[in-house]
Structure 1
Amino acid sequence: MTTRDLTFTIRPLDPRRDAGVLHEWVTQPRAVYWMMQDAKPEDVERAYREIAADEHHHAFLGLHDGRPAFLMEKYDPAHRELVGLYEPRPGDVGMHFLVAPADTPVHGFTRGVITAVMAYLFEDPATERIVVEPDVRNTAVHALNEAVGFVPEREIRKPEKKALLSFCTREQFAKAVAA
């Protein structure tokens, strides 16, 4: 998958093999919104084993130049994360993503990642709309979401956070990335 000058591949996450790298990412201060700051490697592996066993939640590892570069989670909001918090439509897909910390930041890399994630999710013709629920305080991700076509609907209260419920249709995404 190519996004401007960046090429990514996305593969299913292997909890045993990938737990070490994920642990490094989710315990970084910048990953505070993943709520795993104090997790041990075995906690991360356990969490992703649970996701791997869940028919409504899937985790993927994004690679750049063959190296792990981001985590992406896809879930069915009718069964996970948003049950009872909004009225899901057929074709809704929930998404989370986390970009790996970089020794040398690359301008536009995170926007390239979210664009690749969105393109990957919309490759499935059954996906009509992508749903996200980032923490209301995470203004950096709100800006990224807007850049790829997300439109905020309203704030919602989840058990672990106050979140900004936002949606992006296939058409909104296409228009945003064409701009």
Structure 2
Amino acid sequence: MSVFTTVDARLGAFALRPLDADADAPLLHRWVTHPKAAFWLMADADVAGVAEEYRRIAAHPHHDAYLGLWRGEPAFLAERYDPARVELVGLYDPAPGDVGMHFLCAPTDAPVHGFTRAVITTVLAWLFADPATRRVVVEPDVRNTAVHALNAAVGFTVLGEIRKPEKTALLSACTRDQFRAAVEKAAHEGDVPL
């Protein structure tokens, strides 16, 4: 059962459904242990460990995970969390309406131009569909330059570096207006997504 669906003019339908930690674990294991998912920090996980991690997230009152579908097939992972209670506790000054986000595109041998940008646009549209969401906050590894460029393209601004136990992160945030302006600019300029 989808919780959010949108259609990209070029790439078609994208949707999100709640993750089933046990049933989806074998698929997620292939994704999170792939070399392209190095920044996900699960390279050494086994299927049981992936299932355990997503059961832990499902049980948490301030963190949840969703499987992303493209044209009806599993294609990405999205996590939503309350950064005042998970991930960023004590590392920044949370504002009312802040929502934390992670996303991961499935590895593929046949990359589709613009797919990753369509995914992050879908995830942000889903988060901002909730009127309580005022700002989306992310904390990618400072070395993940590809995601920094992608974040900037959809409206994120850098707040600064923070040190987490597992990484030095580039704390960034995107308001609803920043996201809307970035989407409108891309559409107006005929920008081909990243």
TM-score range (shorter-chain normalised) is: over 0.9
Aligned with 2:39: secondary structure?
Answer: helix
1:4 equivalent among 3, 9, 22: 9
The alpha-carbon deviation at position 173 of structure 1 amounts to 0.1
User: Please, what TM-score do these two structures have when normalized by structure 2?
Assistant: 0.91
Contact 1:155/1:162 (8 A) holds in 2? yes
- Map residues 29-178 of structure 1 onto 2, 5 A cutoff: 29-178=35-184
Contact 1:74/1:93 (8 A) holds in 2? yes
Query: C-alpha root-mean-square deviation of aligned residues, in Å?
Result: 0.6
The alpha-carbon deviation at position 41 of structure 1 amounts to 0.2
Of stretches 94-103 and 2-11 in structure 1, the one that deviates more from structure 2 is 2-11
Q: Which runs of 5+ in 2 are unaligned?
A: 1-5, 186-194
Contact 1:59/1:72 (8 A) holds in 2? yes
CA distance in 2, matches of 1:27, 1:136: 20
Contact 1:4/1:112 (8 A) holds in 2? no
- The number of residue pairs the alignment matches comes to 179
Aligned with 2:136: secondary structure?
Answer: strand
Q: Which runs of 5+ in 1 are unaligned?
A: none
**Which residue identity lines up with residue 45 of structure 1 in the other structure?**
A
**Which residue identity lines up with residue 43 of structure 1 in the other structure?**
G
Aligned with 1:116: secondary structure?
Answer: helix
User: Please, what TM-score do these two structures have when normalized by structure 1?
Assistant: 0.99
CA distance in 1, matches of 2:83, 2:52: 22
CA distance in 1, matches of 2:62, 2:74: 24
CA distance in 2, matches of 1:30, 1:105: 12
Identity across matched positions, percent: 65
CA distance in 1, matches of 2:14, 2:105: 12
Q: Which runs of 4+ in 1 moved over 6 A?
A: none
